[in-house]
Each structure stands twice: as structure tokens, then as C-alpha cells.
Amino acid sequence: MNGNSLVYQLVSRIPSGRVATYGRIAKLSGIKSPRLVGRILHLNPDPQHIPCHRVVNYRGKLADNFAFGGEIEQGNRLESEGVEVRNGKVDLKRHWW
């Protein structure tokens, strides 16, 4: 399995109402750079089944360049799943996967 496929598989396992960080996905997939995970997710071939909106940075910040509608859309998707977003951030202690 290549790195991209593993990233997509891991992100697909993040349950609704939870988030993971780029760093956690990188570590679990054996990728050295969380930024590379971000690039892979930016190319998500199936956003309906691979919920890349559930991935945030190590501080809980939403993606400035969320590929599927920007930071506001990412926040809206998370909030629709019960994730509280304040000032463009998610409380990782509360919503961590």
C-alpha cells in the first residue's frame, strides 16, 4: 500500500465528531512530514468518503486552504458533526481521535 492510500484509509477511520492532526496521521502512516499529509489530503479523490475536514494542525487550527471550500467550509462541516469550533480552532482535548 502506498503512502497516499494509507493516509486516506486512516482519515476514513476518524469518526464523526472527532478530529486528528496532520502529525498524528503522518506518524501512523509512516510519513515523515505532516505537511506532506496536508498535500495528500488536498488531492483527496473522494471527499464524500474520506473526511479530510476532520484533520487539523497540531494546535487544533483549521486549514487556511481547505481544498473543499476553505476554512469556513471546514468549520461548518465539523460543527455539523458536533465539533465546537471557536476562532478557527478545535479543542483537541475534547475532540481528539
List, as one string, the DSSP characters of 27-81: HHHT-S-HHHHHHHHHT-S-TTTS-GGGEE-TTSBPPTT-TTTHHHHHHHHHHHT
Q: Tell me how far apart the alpha carbons of residues 12 and 87 are, in angstroms, rounded to a whole number.
A: 26
With cell 502529525, the residue in question is: 23
Active site residue 22: no
Q: What is the pLDDT of residue 2?
A: 74
What is the gyration radius of the CA atoms in the chain, in angstroms?
A: 12
- pTM of the predicted model over 0.85: yes
Domain that holds residue 69: 3-95
Q: What angle do CA 36, 93, 84 make, to 5 degrees?
A: 85
User: Into how many domains does the chain fold?
Assistant: 1
- Measured in degrees and rounded to the nearest 5, phi and psi for residue 20 equal -125, 165
Show Cβ contacts of residue 79 under 8 Å, excluding neighbours closer than 6 positions. Answer: 85
Which CATH number do you get for residue 38?
Answer: 1.10.10.10
From the candidates 20, 26, 52, 85, which is the catalytic residue?
52
Flag whether pLDDT at 86 surpasses 90: yes
pLDDT at 1 over 70: no
